[in-house]
Structure 1
């Protein structure tokens, strides 16, 4: 029997074999996580009697869309919240976050990030980067943050002082994923501590969590422990690579009503919003999400183990806790980062013949290199890699619809970058 490894040099084949043996136990743990999360989703589909008629969708205003309403009940129950918005009209995770913030904040209110400076696109929404219309500045809404400690952890002492001095802060935000930072993403255990800290010191504040890349990455979610509002993308984890667009928001019923009023219109809110032909993908994607997310995480574990054996600085390590899809590799120089990213593109299902070229993108201040041979544009539950071309030259690898694809692509990229 021929092996997919035969094309690689003997040294690389040996490293692959060592990695396979080393990570086998960790992969089994992820399989158990997939099983647990899949069981919870299956029980909800059975409880709510999901049927063919729920997949039809609606047009026009979207009144009496029973499939949409049922799906939102399923999302709310999975995240253990009172209500949800699951809509194709929310175009991205950033749009979902913006909808939350503008939905619940008013002129004079303050947004406070306890997890350091948010990533680039949220800086644009706030107005501290770029020169765009419609930012916080135009609405006299304020932004504050406390930098993280040097080890990437929350500075609880400084956060406590800030909350003591600003008792009327309206929204306290927690960013689960690292974005384009080099810190570790925050595990649920760490977010649980943050939420408890906030509830003790600022009980009236709305606790908002940016959950992008995080759904189904563990067996618990931030809303299980008291987060008031949470947002994520449907063409990332929660859509399993099946959903073509849209995003979701879950949380307290009164806050979801405010978000719906901002998204659609006061007086219409949740009652409007057609779903066209989206519902079949939404239902199937959410059903597949536990498995697909697990496949992507397994791929990240393999990537971390193999690339560390090749002398690279990786984060998280292969045996570290995982709380999202993001795997970083630090190259320390521009050219190998571009070369590795190009190899990921060349081992994608779509546009494998394309060479990624560093360029400036809306929402980012530095040149970005990006490989994304995905079936859905921007679908980072599918294998992609990207990063800003700035020190220390970190490439951020996300996703993978199957472990087998990630393993092939990462190995090919390692071969192209380090053996040629």
Structure 2
């Protein structure tokens, strides 16, 4: 297929996916209304946007922002701080806050996201991991179809199970992401067989994709990154934890120190961006989803396997495309990088990344370093050589990037 034919195909795809776009816009409207309601409930004012320094005592803006997050997430409380450096960091403070020596962490979807394996102690010997501190770990594998194995989960739950780890996105795995309705059923199932267990959800990439968040369907605690969905492409850094009040307090004690908890933490000069980011997030997430839909259908029409299909329900912003060879995978990522506004001249190469088992290639010419909501593509170099595409500040930008990636891939012999 030459470039002229590819452009013609892209125009056909753009028409074909319009009904899916309308569904995404309808969900974005619901989410935007909920976010705006949160701003009104917190009585957000101009002075809330100014930030604080030093210890950050009595930071009214920080308190208002956390009220907004609690409302948006259907939670009792939230911890939203720029000092949380990543989604993995947010997950870490939650897990280390909840678990004690002798407790057990149970994952119910097989191996969690790569960067959590060393944190848990499943891989490597990092000092201070959960394993190093005497916390047990077990996991229940998914079925061959990539779905939850309900019978195995029931057998695995025990009196020792303190926290059940659930991952909303697909991570670096060729499997479906977890829908909100599946999560609702899973939470009820866990509570019926292990009433004392805390259901903790890694919510990265899933925020504002559906019309509610995990705490609204029974999850006890969630965590994620502000440079993904909820930061709206504006947050320069940060992370959040949200859920039951006493559990958020336990995470906050781990974040700072027992007795200090969430009472400190200056918002510095980031406050306006964090407010504006969550306000814009429903729209930006919708743009990213439209971009994923376009990418799925285009590459499906080009003959590649994709997950999810363009018209399948989505629970995260990630689009997987099986490119089948390392050469195509590298070509795709270089195409995305070359279409980026920042560092378009850079040439991504597979390499070791802290926390990952395989060499990883990453394309992300972003205004905020590592901000996958802006538009990024990354993958471990392992079969089926699937690229994981996420983000896009506008569907137009995603289309430009995807077409550039497709042209690169089609040139690989």
2:73 paired with 1:79: yes
Per-residue deviation, 1:130:
2.3
> Which of 405, 409, 413 matches 1:417?
409
The aligned residue for residue 3 of structure 1 is none
Deviation per CA, 1:277-320, whole angstroms, max 9, x where unpaired? 11111100000000000000000000000011001111110000
Deviation per CA, 1:28-49, whole angstroms, max 9, x where unpaired? 1111111111111112212222
The aligned residue for residue 47 of structure 1 is 41
1:260–1:269 Cα contact (<8 Å) kept:
yes
* CA distance, structure 1, for counterparts of residue 164 and residue 122 of structure 2: 18
Structure 1, unpaired ranges of 5+: 1-7
The aligned residue for residue 358 of structure 2 is 366
The CA RMSD measured in Å over matched residues stands at 1.1
The aligned residue for residue 387 of structure 1 is 379
Using the size of structure 2 for normalisation, the TM-score is 0.98
The aligned residue for residue 407 of structure 1 is 399
> Which of 278, 286, 298 matches 1:306?
298
The aligned residue for residue 4 of structure 1 is none
> Which of 13, 19, 42 matches 1:19?
13
* CA distance, structure 2, for counterparts of residue 248 and residue 376 of structure 1: 18
2:279 paired with 1:315: no
The aligned residue for residue 268 of structure 1 is 260
2:203 paired with 1:214: no
Deviation per CA, 1:162-204, whole angstroms, max 9, x where unpaired? 12xx223100111011111111111111111111111111111
> Which of 110, 134, 145 matches 2:139?
145
Equivalent positions of 1:19-418 (< 5 A) are 19-163=13-157, 166-418=158-410
The count of aligned residue pairs is: 411
3-state SS in 2 of match to 1:170: strand
* CA distance, structure 2, for counterparts of residue 254 and residue 49 of structure 1: 24
Per-residue deviation, 1:114:
1.1
Per-residue deviation, 1:331:
1.2
Deviation per CA, 1:51-84, whole angstroms, max 9, x where unpaired? 1100111111110000001111111111111111
* CA distance, structure 1, for counterparts of residue 210 and residue 139 of structure 2: 27
1:130–1:363 Cα contact (<8 Å) kept:
no
Runs of at least 4 residues off by over 4 Å: none
The aligned residue for residue 5 of structure 1 is none
Per-residue deviation, 1:144:
0.7
* CA distance, structure 2, for counterparts of residue 315 and residue 217 of structure 1: 16
Deviation per CA, 1:245-269, whole angstroms, max 9, x where unpaired? 0100001111111111111111111
